[in-house]
């Protein structure tokens, strides 16, 4: 049975979807004020493996992923470049989709943009205002976390730290890994809306980042999600905000499982646009590594552990994959495509599943396969056994996407 570490319960749980017919899964997509780097793609790769492995286990998955194309940073970046917001974000979305395909990632079933779900965000705000969980202040709308009794439950926030006086946070996002202890903005209205706004039933303005994911989920999913996931950064503020919003206006939990992926680092520091230590895919490919080896580097590990990028770590991962693929190619030459060894096939499947079912541990799964096949003398293999091995590996590669 697949077990996943649920951030909400802080423990491993056997995975059981909310809906047996389809696993509804939503993943935090990119903020498209700039291009995504390989640090971002570490998280998207984990999500790709998650979807592929669920399908490998026989589940039907419906995955959504959002594009944050309306926010303070995007508006500021468009102004710096002297281009329209739509032109800036559309160009970066195209680049992102191209890179997903380059890295052999499955394209999500629906890809809503924040700019295209303003109506849903407004409707959510209107409901929160009616419930008196949100309120107007100087033309903008704010969410009062003290009106949601379980606020901070995802992160595990100590509400004893909450200030006695009212504090408001006006920006879409804030730098640093810290909590903003106060009311957070839902709607930039009046002067705060600037030149980017919509005329809506609650007035002129634009939705903040904090309400956007909730609006997009409201549009596409009418039940508790089986899985909601994203980068570890989102565990500070963002996901607890979204959870509080949705659970305030819906009579059921937002998601059954919450999964969070750790950072990719460069020189011991998180790779980020603000630090300027960004590495893009073409940088790695330009050093002579093919796409399969870059994909392998990003997936080889455990999603809840940090990954460090360096010339040594990418070289080591590439070497491991090359050696494994060479052995598989040697084995494949002795196969009989008309027959297959069921026993051999099931043995390989069991090795893979045992490790993957332990919280999606790709590194342990690959290493177990590597160890198994490294001990095999190809000359001793019968064609039927060989075909069983290759058939199982081809099925496994529907998850990994790096072997054949």
pLDDT digit string, tens, across residues 300-319: 999 999 999 999 999 999 99
Poorest-pLDDT segment among 51-55, 190-194, 280-284, 375-379: 190-194
pLDDT tier at 270, thresholds 50, 70, 90 = confident
Task: Give the residue among 240, 31, 71 at the shortest CA–CA distance from 151.
Answer: 240
Q: What is the pLDDT of residue 41?
A: 97
List own/partner pairs for 347-354 with CB under 8 A and 24 or more apart.
347/392, 348/372, 348/388, 348/389, 348/392, 348/393, 348/396, 349/392, 349/395, 349/396, 352/392, 352/396
Q: What is the pLDDT of residue 335?
A: 64
Q: What is the pLDDT of residue 267?
A: 78
The residue with tokens 């870059």 is 294
Q: Does the pLDDT value for residue 273 go beyond 80?
A: no
Judge whether 388 and 340 are in contact, CB under 8 Å: yes
Q: Where are the domains positioned within the chain?
A: 17-261, 281-400
Task: Give the residue among 321, 297, 323 at the shortest CA–CA distance from 311.
Answer: 297
Q: What is the pLDDT of residue 340?
A: 72
Mean pLDDT rounded to a whole number for the chain: 95
Q: Does the pLDDT value for residue 157 go beyond 90?
A: yes
Judge whether 242 and 184 are in contact, CB under 8 Å: no
Q: What is the pLDDT of residue 341?
A: 86
CA atoms within 13 Å, Cβ hemisphere of 162: 14
Task: Tell me the C-alpha distance between 305 and 308, whole Å.
Answer: 10
Task: Tell me the C-alpha distance between 352 and 342, whole Å.
Answer: 16
Task: Tell me the C-alpha distance between 53 and 296, whole Å.
Answer: 15
Count, in order, helices (H) and strands (E) of the chain: 12, 15
Q: Does the pLDDT value for residue 55 go beyond 90?
A: yes
CA atoms within 13 Å, Cβ hemisphere of 120: 19
pLDDT tens-digit series, residues 189-231: 988 788 999 999 999 999 999 999 999 999 999 999 999 999 9
pLDDT tens-digit series, residues 334-343: 866 667 789 9
CA atoms within 13 Å, Cβ hemisphere of 41: 29
Pick the CATH number of 281-400 from 3.90.1280.10, 1.10.10.10, 3.40.50.2000, 1.10.730.10: 1.10.730.10
Pick the CATH number of 17-261 from 3.40.50.2000, 3.30.930.10, 3.40.50.620, 3.20.20.220: 3.40.50.620
pLDDT tens-digit series, residues 354-380: 999 999 999 999 999 999 999 999 999
List own/partner pairs for 187-195 with CB under 8 A and 24 or more apart.
187/122, 187/125, 187/140, 187/141, 187/211, 188/140, 189/139, 189/140, 189/141, 190/138, 190/139, 190/140, 191/139, 192/138, 192/139, 192/140, 194/75, 195/75
Residues 6+ apart with CB under 8 A from 128: 134, 141, 143, 186, 245, 248, 249
Task: Tell me the C-alpha distance between 380 and 66, whole Å.
Answer: 51
pLDDT tens-digit series, residues 97-119: 999 999 999 999 999 999 999 99
Q: Does the pLDDT value for residue 175 go beyond 90?
A: no
Residues 6+ apart with CB under 8 A from 221: 24, 26, 64
Q: What is the pLDDT of residue 336?
A: 66
For the chain, what percent of residues have pLDDT higher than 90?
92
Task: Tell me the C-alpha distance between 73 and 90, whole Å.
Answer: 15
pLDDT tens-digit series, residues 73-105: 999 999 999 999 999 999 999 999 999 999 999
pLDDT tier at 187, thresholds 50, 70, 90 = very high
Q: Does the pLDDT value for residue 15 go beyond 80?
A: yes
Task: Tell me the C-alpha distance between 146 and 208, whole Å.
Answer: 19
Task: Tell me the C-alpha distance between 17 and 256, whole Å.
Answer: 8
Q: Does the pLDDT value for residue 269 go beyond 90?
A: no
Q: What is the pLDDT of residue 192?
A: 79
Report the DSSP pairing between strands 264-266 and 134-137.
unpaired
Determine the 3-state secondary structure of 8 from DSSP. coil
What separation in angstroms does the CA of 119 have from each of 3, 125, 188, 215, 351? 37, 10, 14, 8, 48
| DSSP run (H or E) holding 245 | helix 238-249
The residue with tokens 């380059």 is 102
Q: What is the pLDDT of residue 334?
A: 80
């Amino acid at each position: 049975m697949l077990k996943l570490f649920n951030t909400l319960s802080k423990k491993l749980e056997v995975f059981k979807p909310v809906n047996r017919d389809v696993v509804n899964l939503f993943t935090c997509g990119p903020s498209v004020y700039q291009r995504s780097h390989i640090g971002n793609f570490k998280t998207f790769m984990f999500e790709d493996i998650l979807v592929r492995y669920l399908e490998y286990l026989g589940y039907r998955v419906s995955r959504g992923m959002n594009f944050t194309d309306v926010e303070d940073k995007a508006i500021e970046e468009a102004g710096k470049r002297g281009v329209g917001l739509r032109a800036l974000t559309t160009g970066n979305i195209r680049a992102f989709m191209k890179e997903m395909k380059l890295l052999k990632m499955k394209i999500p079933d629906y890809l809503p943009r924040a700019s295209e779900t303003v109506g849903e965000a407004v409707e959510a705000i209107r409901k929160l205002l009616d419930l008196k969980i949100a309120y107007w202040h100087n033309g903008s709308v704010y969410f009062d976390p003290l009106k949601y009794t379980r606020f901070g439950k995802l992160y595990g926030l100590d509400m004893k730290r909450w200030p006695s006086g009212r504090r408001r946070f006006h920006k879409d996002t804030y730098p640093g890994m810290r909590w903003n202890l106060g009311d957070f903005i839902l709607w930039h209205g009046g002067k705060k809306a600037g030149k980017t706004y919509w005329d809506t039933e609650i007035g002129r303005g634009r939705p903040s980042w904090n309400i956007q994911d909730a609006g997009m989920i409201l549009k596409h999913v009418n039940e508790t999600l089986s899985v909601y996931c994203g980068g570890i950064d989102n565990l500070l503020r963002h996901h607890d905000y979204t959870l509080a919003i949705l659970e305030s206006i819906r009579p059921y939990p937002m998601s059954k499982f919450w999964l969070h992926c750790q950072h990719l680092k460069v020189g011991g520091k998180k790779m980020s646009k603000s630090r300027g230590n960004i590495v893009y895919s073409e940088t790695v490919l330009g050093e002579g590594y093919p796409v399969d080896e870059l994909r392998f580097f990003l997936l080889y590990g455990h999603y809840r552990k940090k990954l460090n990028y360096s010339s040594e770590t990418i070289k080591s991962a590439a070497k491991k994959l090359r050696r494994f693929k060479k052995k598989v190619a040697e084995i494949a030459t002795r196969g009989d495509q008309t027959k297959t060894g069921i026993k051999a096939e099931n043995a390989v499947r069991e090795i893979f599943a045992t490790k993957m079912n332990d919280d999606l541990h790709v590194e342990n799964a690959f290493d177990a396969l590597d160890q198994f096949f490294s001990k095999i003398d190809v000359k001793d293999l019968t064609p039927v056994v060989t075909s069983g091995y290759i058939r199982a590996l081809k099925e496994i590669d529907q998850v990994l996407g790096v072997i054949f």
